[in-house]
Amino acid sequence: MSTSLSFQSVHDRFRPRVLRYLSRLVGEAEADDLTQSVMLKVSEALPGFRGDSSVSTWIYRIATNAALDRLRRKTNQPLSETEAESGEGDGLPGAQTPSVEKTAIRGEMNECIREFIEHLPENYKTVMVLSELEGFKNAEIASILGISLDTVKIRLHRARDKLRKELESGCSFYRDDCDELACDRKPIAAIKFRPRK
């Protein structure tokens, strides 16, 4: 570990990012306490940090594990690593073009979109947040989650497809007066969030 890597500098740099990330995964009500727990783990483990990955990847791995542990305890339904990846016949995404949901997420258009992300299955939500909202590259996401690069690509492809379908059923998209993408929520009765898997 570099001697210039002090906990205070790591804390000051990463705590706001970890708090934002955890808010997106577990909700704002639990994010602050969970962030405290993550930063405590970082503090305890920092002297042994060997630099096998970047500091951000290492911290996000700790944060992701903490969030998934919290979510699993809440639902009492352990996440299956192979559930979404096995035998569904989807190919890997090819060259990607900007899509409605990607544009919406990147711009964090409004709370409505984030609500739809909240209702994605946990393994999809995690890769979407890391990729679209936190800006990690696929290889970094693979390292954070401890899964293969191909699995990351498959999950992102399926998450985007699922989110697109949910948005189409729950929102009406249009261009506003400034030609910016916007949406109106469809009536509550029309929205049917699919249960998390």
Structural domains of the chain, ranges and CATH numbers in brackets: 7-75 (1.10.1740.10), 100-190 (1.10.10.10)
pLDDT value for 133:
83
pLDDT tens digits in sequence order for the chain, 197 residues long: 444 578 999 999 999 999 999 998 888 889 999 999 999 999 999 998 888 889 999 999 999 999 988 888 876 544 444 444 443 334 344 434 444 444 444 444 556 677 788 888 999 999 999 998 899 999 999 999 999 999 999 999 999 999 888 888 877 776 766 666 666 777 654 445 555 55
Task: Please provide residue 182's backbone torsions phi and psi, each rounded to the nearest 5 degrees.
Answer: -145, 170
Q: Judge if pTM exceeds 0.75.
A: no
pLDDT value for 94:
41
pLDDT value for 188:
58
> Are residues 65 and 49 in contact, defined by beta-carbon separation less than 8 angstroms?
no
Per residue in 79-136, pLDDT (tens digit) is 444 444 443 334 344 434 444 444 444 444 556 677 788 888 999 999 999 998 899 9
pLDDT value for 12:
94
Whose CA is closest to 157, among 78, 104, 71, 85?
85
What is the rounded distance in angstroms from the CA atom of residue 75 to the CA atom of residue 187?
28
Q: Is the dihedral of CA 54, 56, 57, 62 positive or negative?
A: positive
> Are residues 10 and 60 in contact, defined by beta-carbon separation less than 8 angstroms?
no
> Are residues 45 and 62 in contact, defined by beta-carbon separation less than 8 angstroms?
yes
> Are residues 122 and 83 in contact, defined by beta-carbon separation less than 8 angstroms?
no
> Are residues 6 and 42 in contact, defined by beta-carbon separation less than 8 angstroms?
no
What is the rounded distance in angstroms from the CA atom of residue 6 to the CA atom of residue 34?
21
| CB neighbour list of residue 132: distance below 8 Å, 6 or more residues apart | 102, 105, 106
